[in-house]
Structure formats: structure tokens, C-alpha cells
Structure 1
Amino acid sequence: MSVLGDIAATYRGPRKVVRRHLAAGPREDRALAVLMGACVVVFIAQWPRLAREAHLAGEALGELLGGALMAWLFIAPLLFYGLGFVAWLVARAMGARLSPYDARMALFWALLASTPLILLNGLVAGFVGPGPGLTLVGALWLAVFLWFWVSGMAAGWRGT
């Protein structure tokens, strides 16, 4: 299935989609591609907010975009790999028999699958600005991201 089809299917049943990805076997190139794709989309989602901030502050947009590029394409992937390792350690402490790859893929896929809401959040931040609408969209994204991540971890949990 295509990436967009998988993202849409994740909103209907995240555990099934992650289980299918994990059944293909551990391939770190696929996990890295999913993570980098998610980070690129998150970077693009920042553009409206950064344009608004640059306009209101009278700053150069290029500098803000450069900082966001560095953060999302070079630093964030390292942090997500670390978070995936910590998630694996916590799952192992709870008795899970999932591999580190399973934990990473569940996290990376949750981030990529929740990018439509991240894009919406970026649009609201750029066009509406701070307020209850931005808070609502951000809370919705967080809830969906956690739902996808927990479901993905459960899909990787051996014996379920």
C-alpha cells in the first residue's frame, strides 16, 4: 500500500498497519525513511508559523527557516532514535518481547501518520495565531500521536 494509503488506514486501525510494517522484517533503511519523511513534513508545517513570526517581528524569514531546518532534519531524528530506545527499555521492563526496531518503527510511524494534524496545526499557527484554536488542534494532534504510538507498541508486543 502507498504511504498515503497507509496513513489513512492508520486512522481506522493503527495496530493493523504497524503490524503489516513489522511483518516485512527489520529494515533500518525503511525506519530511517519513515522518520526523515515525518521530519520533512513537520519542517514544512512550520513554514506558516515562521512566516507569521518573521512578519510580526520584522525579522528575516530565511534565518528562521534555517534554524527550523537544522532542528527538524538534523537534531530531531537523533532525539527520536533516543526516544525509541527509551521506549524499548520501558517496554522491556514491563515484560514486552519486542525488538528495538519494533519500538522505533512504532514511534516513527506514529509521527508520520499524525502529520496531517501537524500540517493543520501549522496552518492554524500561521493564519490564526496563538489562541484556543491552536491549543485545540495541538491537543488533538498529541492525543492522536499517543494513540498511534501506543497502538504501534502493542502491535510489536510479541504474543498479542
Structure 2
Amino acid sequence: MAVTTDIVATYRGPGAVMRHLLAMGRREDRALAMAMGACALTFLSSWPRLAREAHLQELPLDAQLGGALMAWIFIAPLGLYAVAALSHLVAKVLGGKGDWYGARLALFWSFLASTPLILLNGLVAGLIGPGPALSLVGLVWCAVFAWFWLRSLMVAEEGA
């Protein structure tokens, strides 16, 4: 299936999509592409907010974009690997039977699948600014991401 089709299917049932992704075989390049794609889309989603802040606070937009680029494209993927490793260790303590790859795939896929809400959050932050709408969209994203990640991690730790 195409990535976009899998993303839509994840909103209906994250466990089934995770099983499908695991059945495709162990491909570290695919997992890394998911992480980098999610980070790139998150960087893209920050542009409206950064443009708003640059305009309102008379800050240089290029410096803010450069900082966000460094954070999301170079540093965040490393952090994702660390969080995935920690989640696998916690799952092992709780009786998980999966492997490190499954934990990485669960986190990276959940992050990528939730990027439509991250993009919406970026638009709200840039066009409306801080307020209840931004808080609501952020809360919805957090809940959806947590649901995707926990369900995907449960499937990955079943230990096929």
C-alpha cells in the first residue's frame, strides 16, 4: 500500500497497519525514511508559526528556520531512536517479546501517521496563534499519537 493509504488506515486501526508493516520484513532503511519523513513534515509545519513570530517580534525568519531545520532534521531523529530504545526496554520489563526494530517501527510509524494533525497544528499556530484552538488541536494530536504508538508498540511486542 502507499504511505498515504496506510496513514488513513491507521486512523481506523493502528494495530492492523502495524502488523502489515511488520509483515513487510525487517527494513531499517524504511524505518529511517519514516522517521526522517515525519521530522521533515514537522519542520514544514513549523513554518507558519515561525513566520508569525518573526513578523510579530521582528526577528529574522531565516535564523529561526535554520534553528528549526537543525532541530527537526538532524537532532530529532536521534532523539526518536533513543525514545524507541527506552520504550522497548520498558516493554521488555512488562513482558514484551518483540525486538528493537519493532519498537523503532512502532514509534516512527506512529509519528509519521500523526503528521496530518501536526500540519494542522502548525497552520493553527501560524494563522490563529496561541489560544484555545491551538491547545485543542495539540491535545487531539497528543491523544492520537499516544493511541497509535501504544497500539503499535503492543503489536510489535507480541513477538511474532
TM-score normalized by the length of structure 1: 0.98
Deviation per residue, 1:4-63 (Å, 9 max, x gap): 000000001100001110111211111000000000000000000000000001111111
Could you tell me how far 1:155 is from its partner in structure 2? 1.3
What is the 5 A alignment of 1:29-44? 29-44=29-44
Deviation at 1:158, TM superposition (A): 2.1
* Counterpart for residue 137 of structure 2: 137
d(CA) in 2 for partners of 1:85 and 1:159? 16
Q: Structure 1: which 5+ runs fail to align?
A: none
Residue 81 of structure 1 aligns with which residue?
81
Q: Which residue of 2 aligns with 1:125?
A: 125
Query: 2:72, 2:125 → 1: CA distance?
Result: 17
- Could you tell me which runs of 5 or more consecutive residues in structure 2 were left unpaired when the two chains were aligned: none
- What is aligned with 1:147? 147
CA RMSD of aligned residues (A): 0.9
Matched, 1:51 2:51: yes
Residues 74-113 of structure 1: matches in 2 within 5 Å? 74-113=74-113
Once residues 44 and 128 of structure 1 are traced to their aligned partners in structure 2, the CA distance between those partners, rounded to angstroms, is 17
Q: How does 1:50-69 map to 2 (within 5 A)?
A: 50-69=50-69
SS in 2 for 1:46: helix
Aligned to 2:158: 158
Calculate percent identity across the aligned residue pairs: 59
Task: Give the drift of 1:159.
Answer: 5.8
Q: For the residues of structure 2 that align with 1:119 and 1:86, how far apart are their CA atoms? A: 27
- The CA distance in 2 between the partners of 1:34 and 1:107, in whole Å, is 10
**Whole-Å separation in 1 of the counterparts to 2:158 and 2:111:** 22
Cα distance in 2 between the residues matched to 1:71 and 1:62: 14
Q: How many residues align?
A: 160
TM-score by length of 2: 0.98
State the one-letter code of the partner of 1:13. G
